[in-house]
Structure formats: structure tokens, C-alpha cells
Amino acid sequence: MKKILTYGTFDLLHYGHINLLKRAKELGDYLIVGLSTDEFNAQKHKEAYHSFEHRKLILEAIRYVDLVIPESNWGQKVDDVKKYDVDIFVMGDDWKGKFDFLKDYCQVVYLPRTVGISTTKIKRDLYSMKK
């Protein structure tokens, strides 16, 4: 069984997230999603609209996702790759090169983002509508 691992906040779920998860799952048999905890988001100066528990519930309902694990710090990726016997680490291509250190442990794949959509864009659009 080929295991895939990706990470993210997955707030304000949109079709770009679904595209990424679908393409990640197509690379293997079992998709693990490391979901940023609320505390980790605070360390990154990010604030999610939905709580960790709600984002986890949403992700677990997506047919491409087999397991959701908490992401609580930047340094846990190597440990997660080893712990879950991961074959392929996947991230959006806006992170290209940032996780190449994982190539010592598994294959690293950067997938193109879906053009025209992002959580940041949704938040920006909603904010501008309020004005």
C-alpha cells in the first residue's frame, strides 16, 4: 500500500482543496492529512474561521481522505513520515523546494494549485463585500 501525506489548514474548504486532495490520493492508496491545530495556526499568525475540530470533521467526510492527524509544529514532518511509513509527501507548488529535506525519507511532490481560488482570496472577497 502506497501512503501519501499532505498538510494544511483547510479552512473555508473550496474546490481547490478538493482538487489537491483528489490529485494527492491518485498518487497512492492511503491519504493522510496533517491538519494545522488552532495553536499552531496562532504561532504562524493565522486565524482559521473554523476550529480544528470542525475542520477535522469536514476533512474526514471527504472520500479521498483516509486519516486526519494534528499538525502542531513545523518540525514534526520527518517524524510523521517515519511513524506512518509514508511513501510520498505532497504539497502545493507554492511551497516548491521548502520540503525537499524530506527527500531523504520519501518522494516529495509539489502539485500545481487550482487557478483562481484560495482561502485568502475568499477572505479578501468577503471582506471587500462588507465595505
Find all residues with CB under 8 Å of 8, minimum gap 6, and list them: 17, 33, 34, 35, 36
Q: Which residues of 39-53 are buried (b: 16+ CB within 10 A; e: fewer)?
A: ebbeeeeeebebebe
Per the annotation, the verdict on 82 as an active-site residue is no
User: Residues 46, 82, 83, 96: which is the catalytic one?
Assistant: 46
User: Residues 44, 83, 103, 121: which is the catalytic one?
Assistant: 44
Per the annotation, the verdict on 44 as an active-site residue is yes
CB 91 within 8 A of CB 81: no
- Return d(Cα 104, Cα 69) in angstroms, integer: 22
Helices (H), the chain: 15-25, 38-43, 52-60, 77-83, 119-130
Residue 57, beta-bridge partner list: none
- Residues that are catalytic: 44, 46
